[in-house]
Amino acid sequence: MLNTYRQNQKQQSELEKNIMFVTTIYDTFEALEETLGKLKLERPLFLVYLAKKSFAEEVFKYAQKDDQIYLSPKQKNNQRPVLQ
Task: Please give the average per-residue pLDDT across 50-64, as a whole number.
Answer: 85
Sign of CA dihedral 45, 48, 50, 53: negative
Render pLDDT for 22-53 as a digit per residue (tens, 0 to 9). 899 999 999 999 999 999 999 999 999 999 99
**Alpha carbons 33 and 38: distance in angstroms, whole number:** 9
Question: Residue 26 in contact with residue 56, Cβ under 8 Å?
Answer: yes
Domain residue limits, the chain: 2-69
Q: What is the pLDDT of residue 84?
A: 43
